[in-house]
Structure 1
Amino acid sequence: MKKTSFLLLIIYILFSSVLFCQNLHFKIDGNTKHETNIIDSLSYTKTHANYNSIKHELDSIQKRLFKIGYIENKLKEIIKINDSSFETKIHLKKKFNTIHIYYDKTKIKRSLLESISKNIFDDYFELEFSKIENTLNFINSKISNEGLPFSKLRLSNIKVKDTSNLSANLIIESEIRKRVISDIVIKGYEKFPRSYLKHYLKIKPSQVFNLSKIKSKTSQLNNLKFANEIKPPEVLFSKDSTTLYLYLEKAKSNSFDGFLGFGTNEETNQLEFDGFLNLNLTNNLNFGESFKLLYKSDENDQKTFQADLTLPYLFKSPIGLDFGLRIFKKDSSFTTVNQALKLHYQINSKHKIYAGLLSTESNNLLTENTSLTISDYKTQYYTLAYEFTKAQAYNLLFPLNSKLYLETNFGERKALNTQEKQTHLAIDAFKIFYLNRKNSVFLRLNGASLNSNTYFENELLRFGGINSIRGFEENSLFSSLFGLINTEYRYQLNNSIYVHSIIDAAYFENDILNTKEKLFGYGFGFGILTQAGLFRFNYANGKSENQKFKLSNSKIHISLIANF
């Protein structure tokens, strides 16, 4: 007997939740079959845990019917069929498709109404009844963005106008005066250069307060190398002021870039090395300034020294200044010195324009001038340029998604008591096309041309190497015109490792030698993001159009970009 009682107790404990938590079935009918079909189309829940859930579902159904135009729907009594079944009826009555909303011209612009309604009159506009809620939210957001963040909208005096239309008055409650930004407080990076707020982000005191635009603008801070936004902006409203708080942090913006290249000399069959040092210092004075230093020495006994200084937003103006100095020496043949002075204007975070002067002086170092194509000369150019950049700060391997730089130079060259007009054009553009999260294609177009009646060897354009067409020695190719395409198919294994192919093609002309040639480069490479920086390895083989493939023409390039 005791065993039987104990067994019954266990069964009771295990199955009591099932016995006492029986689901309730609920059904809603309309006054007609058509009304029932409309109610069923709302896909309401028909199985409930308790009676309160049924009542909550009914309330939800009536609100949904109201929103689609059945504002006179009437609920009848809920009938209990048995212990687990309930049903009720809802008489939908007439559906109203359109509402005529009367508005105050002084509080809402007609241009705003034109974006939400096709039928607008002097004192009212027509709107589909089902769109009322979304439309009112849209209007309210637009009014809030015009400096009235505490505005409220509602419809009053709703009544039947005719058999299918309603009418109502649009009531807008808002402050009398528009709110403007009275102060901007920066938290975290208090020394952030304020000129970037005014000219880069286009945010400044006395500006009409628009929170959605402010959030959109501050997100562009992540495109700067030296600052990050650590959380969205916040606003403190008081009776007479509106204070905007920005939360920023200073980022590592200095970089060191160097590479070591080696290959076999075809004449001596000996291994030769080349490399360069590239140092970028950014915002160390909390001014947004940048200083770039490049020193390159390659296997062709060529040396390059380059220094560039950029000073943005001089005297808190939208104008910045760029200085450039470049010295190139070709063994014991010649030296060329380029000096550039440009003013730039930052249109917005992506677009920038330049205007300035470029001066060049080249000297023949040969004691016995056996080459008639090398000569002393001086040039003076006027420069116009445009730059577009689109960042993707979330990607540490590829922080730039696309870039376009166009430059035009026009002026004259003086040499041997003669003057000659010249133009120099250059383009450098690239873009990453994403196939999916791990696969992408990188395309780069780079080219330049020097237009002149006569040419000297020491003024020709130089290209070739890891930052040009890969598989060739650094600056080993001289031309009066060249164009090249770099392509890479990239596969990203994870957030810090990727592998890629190398397929490059170039075309160049040398008007001194009267030659036209096509070049190709093939290979592969990989990149690894380490604690020290981005380590890159490239293996490429270069050949001309009529040249056979030779393994000895291969080049290996190793580089490391370290941020500090």
Structure 2
Amino acid sequence: MSQNLYLTIKGSNETETKVLEALNYNTSHLNFLSIKREIDSLQNSLQKIGFIENEHSEILKSNDSTFSTIFNLKNQYQSIHIYYNNTNITPKVLTYISRDITPEYFTIAFKDIETTLNFINKKQTEEGYPFSQLKLSEITIKNSTTLKATLITAQKTEKRQISNIIIKGYKKFPESYLKHFLKIKPGQLFNLTEIKEKTSQLNNLRFATETKSPEVLFSKDSTTLYLYLEKTKSNAFDGFLGFGTNEDTNQLQFDGYLNLNLTNNLNYGETLRLLYKSDENEQKTFEANASLPYLFKTPIGLDLLLRIFKKDSSFTAVNQAAKLHYQINPKHKIYTGITLTESNNLLSTNIPTTLIDYTTNYYTLAYEFITYQPNNLLFPLNTKLYIESNFGSRKQDNNNQKQSLFNIDTFKILNINLKNSVYFKLTGGILNSDDYLENELMRFGGINSIRGFEENSIYASLFNVLNTEYRYQLSNSIYIHSITDIAYYENQITDTEEKLYGFGFGLGIFTKAGLLKLNYANGKNENTAFKISNSKIHISLIASF
């Protein structure tokens, strides 16, 4: 039956004993070989903090189970002067690790030698020398607290550049995304750390994901990079059904929409969106939206939009837009283009009205910022900011009216911990004009705006909506949330300034069919009381295929 052996170590004086105890060496061992290894490890630890001349006495057996030894730490060196060749290492790199730099040497704390050499080696790897080697030579004593040494760098090859990129798994991955989205292309200096950081951005694409880390094959004259990708389900079908009680007829009314997103079906990274919406107050919307990235393998993309809106038998509005976008990096994108609108009054009466035929022509500038949290199945997007400005004029009855239109759409998820989060969303718009027409006003309200109100039932020349949710994830696929919505809007035609409120709760379940959402919300304005009959229930399903 084996017994534990015990090790006691002391220094040559009380101060040295405290230094040894602070290193927290292991005192309990299974055999004598383990004791010897522990003493060797302790010596290495002492050398790393400057006691390079330390030595210990013979290991003595105090009794059947206890062994002891005495260390003499001797002098502790606090710093080291490292002499270097400034053709191999630039002073700019050294500014990250030392405050005492001369053209011949730099000074660091002795305990930082290992981390310093690793840092310099990492920087040389980033500069295209993956096989760079470093070592300290000619180590001598400068004085009682300082050593000096020469840094030897061995760069066995010329700078390495990426000569070829091979994609495994998803062979039809659009090459333009390598060059412009990831910014990886043949001819670049080889830097595996930087490449891994860039390819991790692939998880932000809806149509591809990285299955394992990049690998590289070095030959005498080439450096081949292998990327392991997989095509993912990127098409989405989104629809909702809403129902509530009509205040005039007291009858149950239904409304809803169908939203189809087709992404990367041609392996080009393209997106096509088709939307049809029928609201409970006899409003119909059809929208077709196409995004074509990296035209002719350039960083420029094209966005096209057609939207047709019909308000019962009152008016129609047709919006057409064409924008060019530039993807600065995976998070930032800018837009510029034109937006044309034509609206027609469908009423046949001669009664004076603010519904008048008109056309507008806007020049558009926009900016978009997006961050992701790809490991979250329920909420893959963490932040979005979209700001758009439009400048132009409205033409009616041979009269031109200068106008400007500004829109914002932004949200942010604050993750408290793995289960709890808070969601904030702000949407708004302002139309600046000397006079206003009813059929040009912005429309909001409903599940994608202020909940508890009919879809697109509120007309405004200025509005902003703040949506907030406290979310609690019961599991990776189920969450519940509160609904607290606040809105303010102005209508220059009716001279209205009003605040609106929406309160309720919701549930989300990730099923085999997709993400199923159920929302219950009750809306009111600031001068009315809550009525149960004004409540709205919204059911939506987002399915990927």
TM-score range for the pair, normalised by the shorter chain length: over 0.9
Counterparts of residues 478-557 of structure 1 (less than 5 Å): 478-557=459-538
Distance, in Å, in 2 between the alignment partners of 1:365 and 1:207 is 61
Q: Does 2:126 correspond to 1:119?
A: no
Which residue does 1:298 correspond to in 2? 279
TM-score between both structures, scaled by the size of structure 2: 0.99
Equivalent of 1:190 in 152, 156, 171:
171
Which residue does 1:131 correspond to in 2? 112
Contact 2:84 2:104 in 1 (8 A): yes
Equivalent of 1:219 in 157, 176, 200:
200
Q: Does 2:417 correspond to 1:436?
A: yes
CA RMSD of aligned residues (A): 1.0
Which residue does 2:364 correspond to in 1? 383
| Alpha-carbon displacement from aligned partner over 1:323-351 (angstroms, at most 9, x marks no partner) | 00001011111111100000000000011
Equivalent of 1:410 in 388, 391, 396:
391
The offset of 1:90, in angstroms, is: 1.9
Q: Does 2:298 correspond to 1:317?
A: yes
Q: Extract unaligned runs of 5+ from structure 2.
A: none
Equivalent of 1:34 in 8, 11, 15:
15
Aligned AA for 1:67? K
The offset of 1:461, in angstroms, is: 0.4
Aligned AA for 2:130? P
The offset of 1:439, in angstroms, is: 1.0
Distance, in Å, in 2 between the alignment partners of 1:33 and 1:268 is 93
Distance, in Å, in 2 between the alignment partners of 1:268 and 1:157 is 96
Which residue does 1:343 correspond to in 2? 324
Aligned AA for 1:141? K
Aligned AA for 1:319? I
Which residue does 1:93 correspond to in 2? 74
Which residue does 1:6 correspond to in 2? none
Equivalent of 2:48 in 60, 67, 74:
67
Distance, in Å, in 2 between the alignment partners of 1:468 and 1:87 is 75
Distance, in Å, in 2 between the alignment partners of 1:40 and 1:528 is 55
Which residue does 1:288 correspond to in 2? 269
Which residue does 1:267 correspond to in 2? 248
| Alpha-carbon displacement from aligned partner over 1:476-510 (angstroms, at most 9, x marks no partner) | 10010001101111111001111111111101000
Distance, in Å, in 1 between the alignment partners of 2:122 and 2:520 is 55
Distance, in Å, in 2 between the alignment partners of 1:477 and 1:245 is 54
| Alpha-carbon displacement from aligned partner over 1:213-240 (angstroms, at most 9, x marks no partner) | 1111101101000001111111111111
Which residue does 1:14 correspond to in 2? none
Q: Does 2:106 correspond to 1:102?
A: no
Corresponding pairs, count? 545
The offset of 1:22, in angstroms, is: 2.2
Secondary structure of the 2:62 match is strand
Aligned AA for 1:134? T
Equivalent of 1:457 in 416, 429, 438:
438
Distance, in Å, in 1 between the alignment partners of 2:249 and 2:63 is 102
Structure of higher CA gyration radius: 1
Q: Does 2:257 correspond to 1:276?
A: yes
Equivalent of 1:249 in 230, 239, 244:
230
Which residue does 2:144 correspond to in 1? 163
The offset of 1:371, in angstroms, is: 4.2
Aligned AA for 1:41? A
| Alpha-carbon displacement from aligned partner over 1:357-389 (angstroms, at most 9, x marks no partner) | 000111111122424201111110000000011
Contact 2:131 2:157 in 1 (8 A): no
Aligned AA for 1:178? K
Counterparts of residues 134-145 of structure 1 (less than 5 Å): 134-145=115-126
Q: Percent identity?
A: 64
Q: Does 2:56 correspond to 1:56?
A: no
Secondary structure of the 2:101 match is coil
Which residue does 1:45 correspond to in 2? 26
TM-score between both structures, scaled by the size of structure 1: 0.95
Aligned AA for 1:502? I
Q: Does 2:212 correspond to 1:231?
A: yes
The offset of 1:36, in angstroms, is: 2.0
The offset of 1:76, in angstroms, is: 2.0
The offset of 1:176, in angstroms, is: 4.2
Q: Does 2:455 correspond to 1:474?
A: yes
Distance, in Å, in 2 between the alignment partners of 1:495 and 1:84 is 53
Distance, in Å, in 1 between the alignment partners of 2:66 and 2:353 is 106
Contact 2:203 2:210 in 1 (8 A): yes
Distance, in Å, in 2 between the alignment partners of 1:348 and 1:160 is 51
Distance, in Å, in 2 between the alignment partners of 1:338 and 1:162 is 80
| Alpha-carbon displacement from aligned partner over 1:43-90 (angstroms, at most 9, x marks no partner) | 212222111111111111111111111111122222222332222222
Distance, in Å, in 2 between the alignment partners of 1:47 and 1:278 is 68
Distance, in Å, in 2 between the alignment partners of 1:256 and 1:369 is 44
Equivalent of 2:63 in 82, 97, 116:
82
Aligned AA for 2:245? T
Distance, in Å, in 1 between the alignment partners of 2:14 and 2:356 is 98
Aligned AA for 2:437? F
Distance, in Å, in 1 between the alignment partners of 2:23 and 2:449 is 62
The offset of 1:135, in angstroms, is: 1.0
Secondary structure of the 1:349 match is coil
